[in-house]
Structure 1
Amino acid sequence: MTQPTILLAEDDIFVRKSMHSFLKNNGYAILEAESGSEAWKLCQEKKIDLVLTDLRMPGMDGLELLTRVVQKSREIPVVIVSGVGTRNDVIEALRLGAWGYITKPIEDMNFLLHTVEQVLERSQLRIKLRERQQWLEETVKKRTEELEQEIRERKAVEQMISRAKQEWERTVDAMPALIALVDHEQNIIRLNKAMARAMGMTPAEAVGKKCCFYMHHSGILPENCPHHKVLMDGEPRTIEIYDPVQEKYLEIHVEPFYDTVGKTRIGTVHIATDITPRKKAEQEKEKLQTKLLHAQKLEAVGQLAAGIAHEINTPTQFISTNIDFLEESFRDMATVMEALQNSLPETPKPVQEAFEEADWEYLAEEIPQAISQSREGVQRVTSIVQAMKEFSHPGSKDKVPADINKIIETTITVSRNEWKYLAEVITDFADDIPQIPCLVDEMGQVILNILVNAAHAIGEKIGDNPNGEKGTIRISTRADDSHVEIQIQDNGTGIPEHARNRIFDPFFTTKEVGRGTGQGLAIAHDVVTEKHEGTITFETEKGVGTTFTIRLPLKNQTTSQ
């Protein structure tokens, strides 16, 4: 396996050499540059897998180097390593495309190694995902052309049947489709050779047999029999069945059959087409979509990892600071206790001095607050880690009863770093929503995709935002007798008019190159409509915002039928 090459852009020779030695000992090839200009020259001349750059350097600084590297190739990850940057510098670096930010001095080099490994892993995942998308596009295009060709051929066959009605036997016997005429009593009165071969009989032997014996392998008329329905109202029907004898999927189109006058329905015409290749193609497409969903979820988790680490850092600081405070406070209390011990049974003056020096009233007020803050910090860490664990846990392949409010809350928690600088998220959850049959991880991905899109739309609207303005994302849930409704509303830019009819199309995106895959809403539409038998709609107004409405059935419709 080729050794990954890391470029160190650092003007402090001591820091540069220590990082060089550590990373080289861990199996990486290292290139050094003491300025941004020298680092940029190496980026143009060498194959670089990762850039670690200081923020402040003579001449070209770290942000300018980052900008040039991103413009050259978004596939080269850049991590800022700096001890002088401000919070605004961190935000600016991430906005410009930095993959991470490490604060100097680096007290534990293993943290540096962990960051390098994580970034390189994400970089490889992104490359593999792009290759997978390209392969999927080619596969879908090829299969679409094949299906279009099949559709054209089928239409040609149906047109030929219509034109050759008077020459039934000579025409239909040459057709690959299975064709039969069936009377009111479900008896086959005429059929082509293809149908007879499929039944394992000659045409003469098949005439008079009940069609339900062959089509449904039963002597009882099925409840959804298209033959019976077409005879009742004269409207054509199309159904799909699986024939276990031939081990094929068949699409059966049924048309009414009239007498010579053309007024009385005396039977039906059955045209059965082998759609096994199409079914297999659909199954393969579903597998590919599942893999793509999993890959996108892994990418989303990777993108959120830096934000989760940042969120964990703040409550950890609460704990660390307050533990130090408690330690110092109890040291003072120990002094007081010692003074008490030394002064008894003498005059209480040392006791008074000790109490005054320790400021016991202040400690009595602040220690409970410190403990409360520590407990709050621990709870925040626990909730963030638990939400991340639930979101990334592989879900069941089958629908299970789930709390949709909890799914939304978990998604909001793990995606906080995506929206917290851009918007306030307001929730309005109904308390009486029952659990619904749901694919938990896939529905979480739907909410995540729409929530992140809402944050991006708000970010585009407020721009650079030097005043720290924020938009609003409102998420509400409601239930009626048959459905649960989820609404996600933002006050972002709205969806452009030219894109509104295509936002659920695979690979279509209004975002800049490299930022959007065009799969988020396509996958969301597929998960909601196909896998959950629900609906997803939107209302949008340019410059005002967008509202997505998801309606999910309270019961599994396929099972309930």
Structure 2
Amino acid sequence: MMTKAQPVVLSIDDDQFVRESLANFLEDFGFVVLQARDGEEGLEVFAANRPDMVLVDLRMPRMDGLQVLARVREIAPETPIMVVSGAGDIRDVVEALRRGAWDYLIKPIQDMNILLHSVQSCLDRARLLRQNREYQQSLEESLDKLHRTQKEMIHSAKMAALGDLVAGVAHEVNTPIGVCVTASSFLAERTRQLRDLYEKGEMKRSDLEKYLTLAEESSASVLTNLERAAELVQSFKKVAADQSSEEKRSFELKSYLEQILVSLRPQFKRTPHTVHVDCPEGLTLDSYPGAIMQIVTNLIMNSLIHGFADGLPGEIFIKVEPVGEAVALSYRDTGVGMDKEQRDRIYDPFYTTKRGSGGTGLGMNIVYNLVTQTLKGTILLETSPGQGAVFLLTLPRDPEQAAGATVPDDA
């Protein structure tokens, strides 16, 4: 196999003088040129070395250029093939292009710079197509990972609130994806225009230079936005991992609350509601961030769906204060509040006032179980009709130490 440090071009022509002339010229510009005397030998050289591009004559013994063209297209359809032939019949040109030739030059070539530009243009086009395929594959893989993560976490009833997080991430990812689609479509259109100019014999050097500049800019734009989409997917995976994982770790509470609000931002974009967070800097917990994520998410979604059902602008206030080896988290909304029945049954599984609107009745039951069982804390509710709702949570900084402290001493 040849090294791919330099572009490798395979020249297939039964005329030795033509082969050597093309090889000598292209080698002066840094190309590695392989040679073959006919179609069959050319296919053998192609299979052994997989060059970046093929130059092929039409009229050759044993196997003509059209047969070579068809075979190479079967083996490696992404490899650019240029026909360089003395057969000047327009029907040959049309047939070669119809079968997949990227370009067609008629021998003898009066200006070898035309050959150089054509070769470079074909290689640049092949590179752009390859990069676009890689970008598309990367995007599809990222989206596939996102969808798999969604399915895994929605599998459990306590992950029902994750659907809102997924929708938010999909909304955020949509912007860089849209930019990629626009840039790729624009580049495809300019490629078609350049090809039309070339086929009409109206292409100028400035047209090619403008196209190459545009191609570089479009590729850079696609790459930048795909990287942005990948960053968003990675961010989602981190939050999702916390929400689905039961791992205990140390984390700074204020920044984590802010991350939760960012993930829920799409839920607020088209509403008049606002959220205020008051939490001391540097307050750390050695606890379960996934549980905190689910608790805050369910409380906020409960306010959006039930508390602000009257459509009036609402406010949510989250205040955190250190209390010894615990933290006191106060969650208050200015919504419609609850009557006695709703207050008494709010933590019951499957109790909901929105059964016909997609409510499962599990959100607040999950909150209660996470607070009391996973985090070893307490939760109290203060509410009345028209007065909003206040949830008062007391959460140990380290649930395991809190659980150990409640074990009686047998001594």
TM-score (norm 1): 0.35
TM-score (norm 2): 0.45
Q: Which has the higher contact order (CA 8 A, sep 6+)?
A: 2
